[in-house]
């Protein structure tokens, strides 16, 4: 298919990975057209269909998505109404393609804070039908509340979540999805570094889209 035909069929391109390190360095795109996300590549390499299914299965495993009937498609429990749950997808596809590691929740939603000795953590609670996530921490930090607010702001920015208060948030669709929150927490703790990484990715994506004939956004 031509780029215009791909967009007409699968929707807007959320993110392009310029080189898949685990499959012949092919370019892989993630497209969204409600209610489905589609993993697609223009490559004609043998074995591509299996690789796209592997990526789809990785997305399901690390983000809480639900596999669709097609081997390269998935959705989320909310059916992604009005773009819900689409904001984290640029990070999800990058993790699914570029890394080969589990989204480990054995210790809950936690990660080391980069600016203190504190371990950041996020706890889930159902409060009167509101699926609420609250940021806190264990260990020493000069002013932990400042770090909690910063992490919440990062999660709102990258996850498209809705703020409840300075330390709490919920998913736009009010579902519970510990996997996607856990995936975003390390990114939200250091927004400046994440923004630098995104800028580099955007530059690589622009070079790729120019050669393929369509834009990532």
How long, in residues, is the chain? 217
Looking at the chain, the whole-number percentage of residues with pLDDT higher than 90 is 83
| CA nearest to 41, candidates 191, 31, 98 | 31
Note whether 87 and 124 are same-domain residues. Answer: no
Note whether 65 and 127 are same-domain residues. Answer: no
Note whether 7 and 58 are same-domain residues. Answer: yes
Note whether 91 and 173 are same-domain residues. Answer: no
Note whether 136 and 122 are same-domain residues. Answer: yes
Q: Who's near 115: CB < 8 A, 6+ residues apart?
A: 141, 147, 189, 190
Cα distance between residue 159 and residue 92, in whole Å: 11
Range(s) of the domain holding residue 58 = 3-102+195-212
Can you tell me the mean pLDDT for 27-56?
97
pTM of the model: 0.89
- Residues 80-116 have pLDDT tens digits of 999 999 999 999 999 999 999 999 999 999 999 998 9
Note whether 61 and 141 are same-domain residues. Answer: no
Number of domains forming the structure of the chain: 2
Note whether 172 and 205 are same-domain residues. Answer: no
Give domain status of residue 217, yes or no: no
Note whether 135 and 93 are same-domain residues. Answer: no
Note whether 188 and 169 are same-domain residues. Answer: yes
């Amino acid at each position: 298919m031509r780029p215009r035909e791909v967009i007409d069929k699968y929707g807007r391109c959320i993110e392009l990975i310029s080189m898949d390190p685990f499959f012949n360095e092919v370019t892989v795109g993630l497209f969204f057209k409600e209610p489905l996300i589609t993993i697609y590549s223009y490559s004609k390499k043998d074995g591509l269909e299996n690789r796209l299914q592997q990526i789809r299965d990785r997305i399901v495993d690390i983000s809480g998505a639900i596999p669709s009937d097609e081997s390269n498609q998935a959705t989320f429990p909310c059916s992604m109404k009005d773009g819900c749950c689409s904001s984290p997808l640029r990070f999800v596809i990058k993790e699914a393609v570029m890394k080969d590691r589990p989204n480990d929740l054995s210790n809950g939603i936690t990660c080391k804070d980069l600016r203190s000795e504190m371990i950041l953590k996020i706890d889930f609670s159902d409060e009167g039908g509101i699926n609420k996530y609250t940021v806190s921490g264990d260990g020493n930090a000069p002013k932990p509340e400042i770090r909690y607010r910063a992490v919440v702001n990062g999660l709102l920015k990258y996850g498209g979540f809705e703020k409840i208060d300075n330390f709490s948030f919920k998913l736009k669709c009010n579902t519970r999805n510990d996997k996607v929150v856990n995936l975003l927490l390390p990114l939200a703790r250091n927004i400046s570094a994440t923004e630098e990484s995104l800028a580099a990715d955007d530059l690589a994506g622009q070079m790729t889209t120019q050669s393929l004939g369509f834009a990532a956004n």
